[in-house]
Structure 1
Amino acid sequence: MSYPSQRIAVIGAGAVGTTVAAVLAAHGHRVVLCSRHSPAGPAVTVDRASGALTAAVPTLTGPGQAEAVDWVLLATKAYDTASATPWLEHLVGPRTRVAVLQNGIDHVERVRPLLPLGIRIVPALLYFAVELVGPGHTRWSWGTDIVVPGDDPAAEFAQLFAGGELHVVQRKDFDAVAWQKILVNVVTNPITALTGRRMEVFRDGEIDVLAHTLMEEAIAAARAAGVGLTEEHVNQARDVICGLAPDTGTSMLYDRLAGRPTEHQLILGAVARTADANGVPAPAIHALLALLHALPEKVPAA
């Protein structure tokens, strides 16, 4: 039996929001993008290896245009979470469910204060790489998976994508998988953002040594905090990094090149805070965190 069409609002018209909106609209759902600063509609396009996907997705440019929906997908940058509050006030009704499509390890804690009591929240980890090339236009270069917990709200979220190009995978060990994702991000994001280079930078032997150090510090922090991070989780994180094509970028690199703030406090900062709280040394992570914090907001023109 096919899943009925749902009313879905995607907050954030960046690379992730635009791509997810296009996939869901092409799958028959009634989707709107919500963005005050990046109007993308009436259609959005995703460039894929198999060809361009174009779908009709209107953009709302003010919370006053919004009304309650079945699902809200929060796809802003993690540091912009609070800015979604006016949208949430209009989009969330008693039966609305909210999925958080952001980086980090504290999705639910980040969003819970912004929502009425009783609203179900689904944290989601993204295992696909997309790049915004223009308003309403993204390039999808790698991956197809979204990982969510193994509970009932997450199963309902998975149904939104059933049979589509993005695959939702439920994991009972979600907390460990969230840290597994952080292991990938703590290595790839800061190094690409600081060097201004894509994954080819890891061909440099000294960079590879730095990457190993960052991952080992993050592993120690997670285990000290009681996270059930196994060797299998660690090996899978390493496999993800090794499997990325040399021309693949990262979200922090794209933000850096565009002169936007980066999510270093939600990625490296989360690991650094965990390490400090548990008495675990993390000098390499703290060093890169300091460098990222000191960067100017705009990249000088070449």
Structure 2
Amino acid sequence: MQAVDGPSSFTGSVAVIGPGAIGTTIAAALHEAGTTPRLYGRTAREQLTLHRESQDIVVPGPVITDVSQVGQPADLVFLATKTTQLAAAASWLDVVAGPHTVVCVLQNGIEQQASLAGRIHESRVVPAVVWFPAETQPDGTVLLRGEARLTLPDSPAATTVVQALRETWCGVETSRDFTSVAWRKLLQNAVAGLMVLTGRRAGMYRREDIASLALSYLQECLSIARADGAELDDGAPLEILTRLQAFPVDMGTSILADREAGRPLEWDTRNGVVQRLGRRHGIPTPISDVIVPLLAAAGDGSD
């Protein structure tokens, strides 16, 4: 990892598409540093509120919900919609992102660049690994339950994101082996899918039976990650499980929140991809073959 510091030289305009939990966090960090982003989303709000430590940060809006009200394209766009909302976000990208706009994708998974292929040139797409827990509260505000940090690939376009965030309280680092970093986060996201199937929060990973299942699933995911080019050591599954076991017992995850709210689930981005790539590489995925259909059924909305 390469930490970044020093003065910021970014002076362009910034937009956030999808100011949910992650988008609100980034918007609040930018606003406090003097760069208030334009906000675009599906829910109209006059402002955004982030609860960080003992402070409430209010980001002035409004959140624009009508794509026809977009003015000039932004120089930098943070795309913070769920992967299940990409089709809806496409109309925003068509007008918010111009020919030179850098798009930082704050989404789960390892396929961010591929998901925008044909719409945003690959050289201007910056995938990001989000390392912080942020949860939307019943009143629409967002609770940040840890330090905000992003990992980006070491690329020319990522420099724009680094400069924009450099003087904020959102840490940012770059990696020359972003594939491995992204896969490590995907392993954590994949095993978090067990919360959906049980309706339980992080405390369940302290159960011996769940811990055993989670570790076996993580080892299966690790074999696919390595086949896909990630360099993760044998200890990665246990490290991830130990991290989950150390979470507050009431800590949830975005896919569980979506399940509880009856929203579409990112099961394919977080779990289905492991099964798909396992088949591509000829690697058996017996645990995925059970978990993925159950998650798909949980998220299809039918009785």
TM-score (norm 1): 0.91
- The superposition leaves residues 115-144 of structure 1 with CA deviations (integer Å, 9 ceiling, x where unpaired) of 2x4761100010001111146510111242
What residue in structure 1 maps to residue 4 of structure 2?
none
Correspondence for 1:210: 213
**Shift in Å, 1:244:** 2.3
Rounded to whole Å, the distance in 2 between the matches of 1:209 and 1:232 is 15
Gaps of 5+ in 1: none
Please, which moves more after superposition, 25-34 or 202-211? Answer: 25-34
Counterpart of 1:17 in 2: which secondary structure? helix
Distance 2:27 2:39 in 1: 7
Aligned to 1:171: 175
Residues 1:155 and 1:230: Cα distance change in structure 2 (over 3 Å): farther
> Partner of 2:189 in structure 1?
185
**TM-score, with structure 2 as normaliser:** 0.91
Question: 1:242, CA displacement in angstroms?
Answer: 3.8
Matched to 1:9, the amino acid is: A
| Residue of structure 2 in register with 1:75 after alignment | 80
1:161 aligns with 2:162: no
2:3 — aligned with what?
none
Is 2:154 aligned against 1:150? yes
Q: Which runs of 5+ in 2 are unaligned?
A: 1-6
CA deviations 1:152-181 (Å, max 9, x no partner) are: 211221121113221111111100111101
> Among residues 115, 118, 125, which one is paired with 1:121 in the alignment?
125
How has the CA–CA distance of structure 1 residues 296 and 222 changed in structure 2, closer, same or farther, with 3 Å as cutoff? closer
Tell me how far apart the structure 1 counterparts of residues 165 and 106 of structure 2 sit (CA, whole Å): 14
Preserved contact between residue 20 and residue 136 of structure 2 (Cα < 8 Å): yes
Give yes or no for contact 1:94–1:119 (8 Å, CA) kept in 2.
no
Pairs aligned (count): 296
CA contact (8 A) 2:179 2:229 kept: no
Query: Could you tell me which residue of structure 2 aligns to residue 294 of structure 1?
Result: 297
Deviates more, 1:97-106 or 1:280-289: 280-289
Task: Choose from 255, 258, 279 the match for 1:255.
Answer: 258
Q: What do residues 39-96 of structure 1 show as CA deviations (whole Å, max 9, x unaligned)?
A: 122x211112232222213211111111311111111101221221111111112221
Q: What is the root-mean-square deviation of aligned Cα atoms in Å?
A: 2.1
Q: Do the aligned residues in 2 keep the contact of 1:13 with 1:136 (CA within 8 Å)?
A: no
